[in-house]
Amino acid sequence: METSNIIVQKFSGVTVGSAKRMRKVLQLIKNSNNNSDLIIVMSAISPKKKIHGTTSKLIQATKELLVKKATHSFEILNEIEENHINILNKLITDNEELRLETEKRIKEECNALREFLKALEIIKEITPKSSDTILSTGEKLVGIVFTAYMKNEGIDTELIDLEKLITDVYDDSLIDTNFYLKTLVPKLSEIFSNCKAKVPLVTGFIGSFPLGILETIGRGYSDFTASLVSLAVNAKEVQIYKNISGIYSADPLVVEKAYVLPYITPEEASELVFYGLKTINPLCMDIARNQKIRIKSINNPDNPGTLIGPCSDEYKNVKSTVVLIKKDVLIYNINCRKGSVAHGTMKKVFDTFNKFGIQLDLVSTSQMNLSIALSNDVDKLDLVTTELKNIGKVSIRPHMAILSVVGRSLKSQVGFAGRIFTALADNNINIHMISQGQSEINISCVINQESKALALKCVYDLIYTDEEKKE
């Protein structure tokens, strides 16, 4: 199918976190609209950091509903409501009718949620579907405020609420790539072909999943929505606007010399998100192999940022190695009772972690030990240990970090892993586990968390001098 002239612009919560930032976003939309057709996807407002944003507050309100009283969750909701009305009041100052009508819609949305929370308190049960309904409010509210603002600024827009996009799906096993591509994408195509507005605004929340949107898609779900929308309209590209200019060669807060990579492949992006990069939702890579996704900064929109997409000749020789640290990891070690790690043992161990929904980051085996690196904030690790007690003696080593080097250029560098480990050893950094996938675009190892900054800097220096020498 031929690519359309549409660009999907997705704005993350922090980029629309205040009236000032919304003005910036509006200007950007106006400028882009001169050259392309646009569809806007917007995430719930995050004042500064995502952990203090609307979605995080709604998650807190949901969790506290059954532990504390609904009145406590109402306080959280009052704060959210007030914040949206304050922003609206700053944005629409010259059209009282529109301002009042929009304020009414915000209040209606929040009142509906209050009624819903009261009902949940009475039935004392929160299902994934109800928790999704609560979360959807964040994206609805930002949509209500921003479409009113766009209208007031003369942009022909319409709010498209995707809360009800998924219907009659009660079984999680039905949610797979096929479901996204064959069910959701055609539904979205139909919605857009019926939409008359010049610049539609779509809620980043895409509907209730049997296990809940956070379990199925994860935080940053609006990136995924933007990818589906892009497939539905065959867009030229998806632009994901953030506070940061793109994907850097290393964390710019730790490595001063780090720079924004112009291009990475979807495979590299998948590895990076797996090893802790939060810049893009991981599922986008699964459905968007042939799409162009560009991470850009709201503060510097003329900068092309980082493109993730098919590797054309233009990008073949572009450097794209990233050194990444995933902190707050632990090593879970099982010293097997039978004296060796049999394949039945591995099955039991992996099945048990899977049963409790725990993601494993790195695995290594020796004759008697099975070592697994995983995030230290997982619930239910003690339940796993109880189930595995017949397999062997479990010991846990906390305060670890995973250092990963990701890049397609690693494939051609014989002896590269050896040089990384030598550089770490020269800096007195102990390596607890090592892993290299068959794809050879990723080398990872587990180190003590306290050495993370030193490890990042010394491996970065090694890689970037090595890559420079190759050129």
Ligand X SMILES: N[C@@H](CC(=O)OP(=O)(O)O)C(=O)O
Binding footprint of ligand ADP on the chain (CB under 6 A): 12, 14, 242-244, 247-248, 250-253, 277-279, 322, 324
Choices 46-54, 151-159, 302-310, 346-354 (CB under 6 A): range interacting with ligand X = 46-54
> Nearest to residue 32, comparing CAs of 239, 248, 190?
239
Look at residue 253 and give the partner it binds from ligand ADP, ligand X, none, a contact being a CB closer than 5 to 8 Å depending on partner kind. Answer: ligand ADP
221 binds ligand X (CB under 6 A): yes
207 binds ligand X (CB under 6 A): no
Q: Least distance from C-beta 12 to ligand X, angstroms?
A: 3
Look at residue 373 and give the partner it binds from ligand X, ligand ADP, none, a contact being a CB closer than 5 to 8 Å depending on partner kind. Answer: none
Choices 40-48, 119-127, 189-197, 356-364 (CB under 6 A): range interacting with ligand X = 40-48
Does residue 309 sit in helix, strand or coil? coil
Look at residue 55 and give the partner it binds from ligand ADP, ligand X, none, a contact being a CB closer than 5 to 8 Å depending on partner kind. Answer: ligand X
451 binds ligand X (CB under 6 A): no
CA distances from 429 to 177, 321, 403, 447 (A): 41, 22, 11, 7
| Of residues 220 and 407, the one with the C-beta less far from ligand X | 220
Look at residue 136 and give the partner it binds from ligand X, ligand ADP, none, a contact being a CB closer than 5 to 8 Å depending on partner kind. Answer: none
CA distances from 280 to 171, 183, 222, 360, 419 (A): 27, 23, 10, 20, 30
Look at residue 243 and give the partner it binds from ligand X, ligand ADP, none, a contact being a CB closer than 5 to 8 Å depending on partner kind. Answer: ligand ADP
Other CB atoms within a 10 A radius of the CB of residue 377 amount to: 9
| Of residues 42 and 372, the one with the C-beta less far from ligand ADP | 42
CA distances from 133 to 53, 63, 136, 153, 205 (A): 17, 14, 5, 31, 10
DSSP 156-198: ---EE--TTSS-S---GGG-SHHHIIIIIHHHHHHHHHH---S
223 binds ligand X (CB under 6 A): yes
| Of residues 147 and 321, the one with the C-beta less far from ligand X | 147
> Nearest to residue 128, comparing CAs of 170, 69, 77?
170
Which residues neighbour 152 within 8 Å (Cβ) at sequence distance 6 or greater?
91, 92, 94, 95, 98
| Of residues 251 and 332, the one with the C-beta less far from ligand X | 251
Pair 323, 456: CB distance under 8 Å? yes
| Of residues 14 and 175, the one with the C-beta less far from ligand X | 14
Report CA Rg, the chain: 24
Angle between the 128-152 and 96-123 helix axes, to the nearest 10 degrees? 180
Look at residue 322 and give the partner it binds from ligand X, ligand ADP, none, a contact being a CB closer than 5 to 8 Å depending on partner kind. Answer: ligand ADP
Q: Which of 143, 204, 246, 309 binds ligand X (CB under 6 A)?
A: 204
Helices (H), 395-435: 416-426
Tokens for 237?
């590209």
Q: Least distance from C-beta 32 to ligand X, angstroms?
A: 18
Cα 143 from Cα 161, distance rounded (Å) = 8
The DSSP code for 248 is: B
| Of residues 83 and 208, the one with the C-beta less far from ligand ADP | 83
> Nearest to residue 206, comparing CAs of 185, 236, 235, 177?
185
Pair 431, 418: CB distance under 8 Å? no
219 binds ligand X (CB under 6 A): yes
Contact string 13-32 vs ligand X (x = CB under 6 A): x-------------------
220 binds ligand X (CB under 6 A): yes
Look at residue 204 and give the partner it binds from ligand X, ligand ADP, none, a contact being a CB closer than 5 to 8 Å depending on partner kind. Answer: ligand X
Choices 48-56, 97-105, 173-181, 300-308 (CB under 6 A): range interacting with ligand X = 48-56
| Of residues 51 and 100, the one with the C-beta less far from ligand X | 51
Does residue 270 sit in helix, strand or coil? helix
Q: Least distance from C-beta 451 to ligand ADP, angstroms?
A: 17
| Of residues 40 and 341, the one with the C-beta less far from ligand ADP | 40
φ/ψ of 148, rounded to 5, equals -60, -45
The DSSP code for 260 is: B
Q: Which of 57, 103, 138, 388 binds ligand X (CB under 6 A)?
A: 138
Q: Least distance from C-beta 80 to ligand ADP, angstroms?
A: 19
| Residues near ligand X, by CB under 6 A | 12-13, 43-44, 46, 50, 53, 55, 138, 204, 219-223
